[in-house]
Amino acid sequence: MNRIAPTAACIIALGLTVSACSPAGSTSADSGGKDGKATITFLTFETPNLDAEYWDAAISRAEKKVPGVTVKKLVSPSTDRTSYAKQLLASGQFPDAMIAVSPSGFAESGQLAAFSDAELKDYTFPHSNPIGGKVYQLPHNTQPTPLVYYSKAKFKKAGIDAPPRTYSELLADSAKLQKAGINPFVVGGGGKDAFAASYLWTALVGTDVYKKTPDWMTQRRANKVKFSDPQFRSATGKFVDLVKKGYVDKAGLSRDYASTEKAFLSGKGAMYPMGTWFATAADKSAMKDDLGVFPFPTDDGSIAVPSYTGGGISVNARSKHLDLAKKFALAFNADKANLDAVVKSDGAIIAEKGYTPPSGMGPVYDATVKVYDDAVKADGIVNAFLVETGDDSLLPGMVDKSYAFAQDIIAGRKNAEQVGKAMDDEWAKADTK
């Protein structure tokens, strides 16, 4: 991972004040591509589900639909593509297009181009995650994050007949699993994939904060509530309590994302809080018929499923080929073969009008979609803490700090009061208004 020391000092919070420090336009766009075509750069990332073969094929299909453009693929060295985008911006190599990069901070500093209503007309939730009332990322994919995937065989071994519906049932089931010698929760968060340590926290904020106060983060931006207030501190306290009871596998702090997925699929624990992209990996595994899924339980048994709709392509506002970059973004996210591929590879729930997923998806994906559909019918969709972007998200720079706090909780280094205070302190540093 290349770091440019002279420009690093220009980065504040999310590294998004660099517009005054270094050029933000595409470097590749200065010269023509092959056959006289314009070259644009496209930042992607690779996971076990979305590998190089997937990206190469998807890019090729979209490229053919935009005459006059050649696409140069850039690959983030980790799944934290937002941090990598910051580095590229700081070194004057901000890509022309980028996928699944949080637009927060980039948009406010003028680095991203907004999409018009006409460009968003085919999306189910066209105004998802607005920043200053404008949309900077194509909202093509809804991802409940997290749901809880579990081993039916391990539940049965512990004497559990059905997944828990209330939080008290979850605690009782976790105690039964522990007594049976089974680790209740498999988590990750090691090395470059710190985000995976945070999903129990995301779930608990969803059930205990956002379910009861949907505009809580908007209120935080207005300084009407704080992370150290009782409601948020209580949700964080439940996370701390799960760790103290020994229900969370601390070994996860040494595992990256791929290793965590492998740990769960190899039987290292009973439950796995993870986003819906896990469903396709599960359906490719030997465990597919043993796996079930349920929403993280609330105290009263009502449904609260943290979800995020976005994940599409954003475009560099200063690209030398802005029009072509936008056309490529729209073509990439509208291509049926691309959408089918991401559903098959990454368990996507596509949020585009008229889209029908491919037939023959596996049992875990089908069960995942049912949980989401049931939540929609029950008006149980809430924002996903640490995943949301836009006007009701954390301030720039705070997501990475929060991942570190989640790691601190799992490691036993911080309690709820300490985390609440630290979050408020970080908020004060990030609030530059």
Q: Give ranges for CATH 3.40.190.10 in the chain.
A: 5-142+310-359, 144-308+367-430
Domain covering 144-308+367-430 in this structure, CATH number? 3.40.190.10
pLDDT tens column, 131-188: 999 999 999 999 999 999 999 999 999 999 999 999 999 999 999 999 999 999 999 9
Which residues of the chain fall below pLDDT 70?
1-36, 433
- HEC profile for 218-284? HHHHCCCCCCCCHHHHHHHHHHHHHHHCCCECHHHHHCCHHHHHHHHHCCCCCEEEECCCHHHHHHC
> What integer pLDDT is reported at residue 16 of this predicted model?
40
Q: How many CB atoms lie within 10 A of CB 162?
A: 11
Domain covering 5-142+310-359 in this structure, CATH number? 3.40.190.10
Mention every residue, 6+ apart, whose C-beta is less than 8 A from residue 355: 336, 339
Burial of 180 (0-12, 13-18, 19+ CB in 10 A): middle
User: Position 51: which residue type?
Assistant: D
> What integer pLDDT is reported at residue 47 of this predicted model?
87
Phi, psi of 418 (to 5 degrees): -65, -40
Beta strands in 34-159 (DSSP E): 38-44, 69-75, 97-99, 139-144, 147-151
> What integer pLDDT is reported at residue 131 of this predicted model?
92
Closest CA to 216 of 189, 234, 242, 240: 234
What is the value of pTM for the model shown? Answer: 0.80
> What integer pLDDT is reported at residue 104 of this predicted model?
85
Which residues, in sequence order, are bridge partners of residue 274? Answer: 147
Which residues, in sequence order, are bridge partners of residue 271? Answer: 150, 185
Q: Side by side, which strands form the sheet with 313-315?
A: 69-75, 38-44, 97-99, 313-315
